[in-house]
Amino acid sequence: MDFLIEQLPRYLDGALITVQLTAGGSALAFVLAMVFGILGSMKHWLPRAVATVYVEVFRGIAALVLMFWMAYALPLVSGYKLDDTFAAIVALGINLGAYGAEVVRAAVNAVPKAQVEACVALNMSWFQRTRLVVLPQAWAQMLPTFGNLVIELMKATAVAYLIGVADLTAVAQQIRSATGETVLAFTGALILYYLIAQVLIFGMRLLERRANRKLGRIPPGGTGLLALLRPPSVGTKVGVAK
């Protein structure tokens, strides 16, 4: 315990970099997932083809290889070198965005067609019906899977040290090399990764319950602390006496 307390400032520095990678990668992945997911749900073949190319290409490339390409191959091709941290964020965001695009496409297509047809009958534009009717319902369906993808992205940041990023894994490696304490060094990293994951899980459950409450899918008052600590109930009906 004394060892971990003594090394805590170094661990926290590494954890901060890990959080930055997770936040940056998640933000980029979210934007790409929404753009290409919506394109993939359109009726016209061209936007669907663009979305399919992006999804199939970047789902088939390992995040680590893409990270190496951004850090080492891109400067040779373009003559411009990205910062190591930024290169890791771009690689993780592009890779996870491809998975997220399929989540968005499936959620948008799951919205009942009758509602879309009703919007057309009301003379709503594509943008209006997408923003006001389709996305609010699809959003609630996307969130559980998005939460899993964010956790996976956070864990994928552990390989960023291979391109020189001083993240939590890099700090654990440095501490192990300096002290020879392999078990304790990686135990500290393990604990911090777990804590970061729990914070992300809590945040995603909060978003899930907020989205479901707006759609009337959970009872009023079902967003307290204890409710957030347990998974959302399935099949709960509002206003039905038990």
Q: Which pLDDT score is estimated for 6?
A: 85
Q: Each residue of 31-59: pLDDT tens digit?
A: 999 999 999 998 889 999 999 999 999 99
Summarize the confidence of residues 183-211 as an average pLDDT: 91
Nearest by Cα to 12 from 194, 163, 188? 188
d(CA 196, CA 208): 18
> What phi and psi, each to the nearest 5 degrees, are found at residue 74?
-55, -40
Q: What is the pLDDT of residues 113-132, one digit of tens each?
A: 888 888 888 888 888 888 88
Average pLDDT taken over every residue of the chain:
86
Residue 131: predicted pLDDT: 85
* Cβ-proximal residues to 166 (8 Å cutoff; 6+ apart), any chain: 13, 14, 17
DSSP 191-240: HHHHHHHHHHHHHHHHHHHHHHHHTT-S-TTTTSHHHHHSPPPSS--TT-
* Burial class of residue 29, CB neighbours in 10 A (0-12, 13-18, 19+): buried
| List of domains in the chain | 2-229 (1.10.3720.10)
Which pLDDT value is given to residue 217?
A: 67
With beta carbons less than 8 A apart as the criterion, state whether 55 and 38 touch: no
**Residue 224 C-beta-side C-alpha neighbours within 13 Å:** 5
Q: Is 33 helix (H, G, I), strand (E, B) or coil?
A: helix
Whether residue 215 has pLDDT greater than 70:
yes
